[in-house]
Amino acid sequence: MKKINRVLISVYDKTNLLDLINNLKKTNKKVQIISTGGTKKILEEHKINVTSVEEITEYPSILGGRVKTLHPKIFGGILNRSKNTIDKKELIKYNILNIDMVIVDLYPFEETLKTTDKEEEIIEKIDIGGVSLIRAAAKNYKDILVIPGTEEFPKAIKLINAKNGCSDLNDRLLFAQKSFYKTSQYEFAISEYFKKKVGNNSIFPINFHTPDKSITLRYGENPHQKGMYYGDLNDLFEQLNGKELSYNNLLDIDAAVHLIEEFSEPSFGILKHNNACGFASDNKIINAWKKALAGDPISAFGGVLITNGNIDLECAEEINNLFFEILIANSFSQEALKLLKTKKNRIILKKKNTNLENMSFRTVLNGILCQQRDHITDSDKAKTVSNLKVSESKMSDLLFASKICKHTKSNAIVLVKNKQLLASGCGQTSRVDALKQAILKAKHFGFSLENSVMASDAFFPFPDCVEIANNEGVDAVIQPGGSKNDHLSIEYCNENDMAMIFTGYRHFKH
C-alpha cells in the first residue's frame, strides 16, 4: 500500500472535484495539493490550501496558458522511481518534490468539434500538458495513482475511502490502463480531425472507433455468435427505412460500396455474400438495373443493391418487384422513396460521401494483419501483348471486367459483354474451375459468350483457361501477367485470333 501525501491537479471540468479532494483530506489532513490556476482558485474559495504549479516550478504560466505543467520539477516528481537510488539523489539535488497522485481532466476536444468549426478554437482545445501528465503518471504506475478524467472520480473516491487514503499496485495498474486507453481515444479524435483536413493523403487513416460509436448487433455471422460494430455509419449513410443493420449486412455493404466506387458512369450492382452476382453500366440507371438483374435473377433474391445514381419512380417500380435486403443510392425521388418504403424491413440507405478508409484490418491467429486497400484500377499499365489489338469499346469492356474481378473472391474469373456482367466464377481453389463455373452460369441464364471478354484476378500458369474461354466464344482476355509460361498463353492467342491484355497488377481477394 502507498499513502497519498502529495497530489497534482490539472482539470478542465471541475465537476465532483471538491468531493474527491474532501474525501482525500479526510483520510490525510496533511496531504499537499498542487494545482494549476483556475482549479487553485476554486479550491481556495472552499477553504482548501493549495500550492500553485508556479510555486513548484518557479516559472510562470506562459504563452497564454499553453505551457503550465511542462517542467522538470513537475515531471521529475511524477516519473521518479521510489526504489531507484539515483532517482532519489537527483530529487534532492534538484529540489524536486515527489508526487503520489495525479488528477487530470483534458480539454474537451470532441465537444468543441460539435459546437464550432472555427479552426483556432478547435486547435486550442488540443490538450498537450494534460495528456503528458496522464501518460507520465500511468507509465510510473508502480509509484503513482493517476485519475484520467472526471468520469473516474466516483471510483477514485470509493478507492480512497476503502483504503484510507492509500492505493495498492493493482489499483494503480487498473487506472494506468484506463489512462492509456483515454489518451489513445483522445488522440484518435484529434487524428480524425486532421485526417479530414488532409483527405486521402493521410498516411495511416484507419478508424479505431471510440466505444460511444459502437453498435451491438443482433448477432454475428450466425445467430449463435455475438457481434459488435465499432464505427460511425452516419458519416457515410443516411438510413431512410428498414431494420437495424446486421453483421452480414455490413460486410455486404462494405463490398458494394467499394465496388461501385470503381465506376464513374451510371452503374447498378447486385451483391450476395460480398460478390457481385449482377453488375452493369448504361447511360440510364434503369437499363443498368435491368442488365444487372439479368445476370443472375435467382441469386439477386435477398441481395444487396447499389447504384451510383438517382432512383426515380420508374426505376423503383422495377426494383420493387424483387425481394431484396438493402438498397443503396446517391439519391431518391420522393415518389420512389414512398413506394420503396412500403416494405418496413427493407433497408434503404442514402450514400452521403465516399471518404472510405485506405487501410484494412483482419485478425489472424493471435495478431492483426493490416494492409493498404487495393486502389489500382488496371488502366495505368495495361498493354496489349498479343498480335491482335483491341478496339476502344473492347478495351472498355476489358477494364470493366477487371474492375469487377478485383472485387470478386479469389480464385476469380469474370465474363463481360457490353458492360454487363454475364457471369463470374469465384472462391474456387482452381482457376479452371472458376472459369467453368462462370461458363455454366452464363449459359444457364441464356447468354451467348460470342465476342465476350474474360478477366482473371491472377496470371494463367498454363494456357488451359485461355483455350477453354476461346472455345466458348471469348475473344479478349485481361490478366496481370507474370507467369514464366506467359508466352504459352500469348502464343495461343496469336494462333486463335484472340487479344490479350496484361495489367501488371494481381488482385487476390481472400
Q: Rg (Cα) of the chain, in Å, rounded?
A: 31
Question: What is the C-alpha to C-alpha distance for residues 407 and 241, in angstroms, rounded to an integer?
Answer: 27
As beta bridge partners, residue 273 has none
What is the bridge-based pairing of β-strands 310-311 and 347-351?
unpaired
DSSP 16: T
- 320: buried, middle or exposed (CB in 10 Å: 19+, 13-18, 0-12)? middle
* Catalytic hit among 3, 71, 273, 343: 273
What the block records as the C-alpha cell of 148 is 484520467
Closest CA to 320 of 298, 299, 305: 305
Pure H helices in 231-387: 247-260, 285-295, 313-319, 334-340
> 41: Cβ–Cβ under 8 A, 6 or more apart, which residues?
none
Q: Is 185 helix (H, G, I), strand (E, B) or coil?
A: helix
Q: Please, are residues 241 and 347 in contact by the beta-carbon 8 Å criterion?
A: yes
Catalytic residue among 25, 139, 155, 343: 139
Q: Catalytic residue at 273?
A: yes
Contacts of residue 416, Cβ cutoff 8 Å, sequence gap at least 6: 397, 398, 400, 401, 404, 422, 452, 453, 454, 455
**Three-state SS at 401:** helix
The Cα 404–Cα 295 span in angstroms is: 13
Cα separation, 426 vs 219, in Å, equals: 27
Q: Cis bond leading into 201, ω under 30°? A: no
In the chain, DSSP finds a helix count (H) and a strand count (E) of 18, 25
Terminal C-alpha separation, the chain = 53
Cell 467499394: give the residue.
Answer: 258
Pick from 151, 126, 148: nearest CA to 135:
148
In this structure, the chain runs to a length of: 510
Dihedral angle sign, alpha carbons of residues 259, 413, 508, 484: negative
For the question of residue 381 being annotated catalytic, the response is: no
Each residue of 423-457: b (16+ CB within 10 Å) or e?
bbbbbbeebbebbbbbbebbeeeebebeebbbbbb
| CB neighbours of residue 212 within 10 Å | 8
User: Does residue 51 contact residue 32 with C-beta atoms inside 8 Å?
Assistant: yes
- DSSP assignment string, 25-36: HHH-TT-EEEE-
Q: Which residues are catalytic, by number?
A: 139, 273
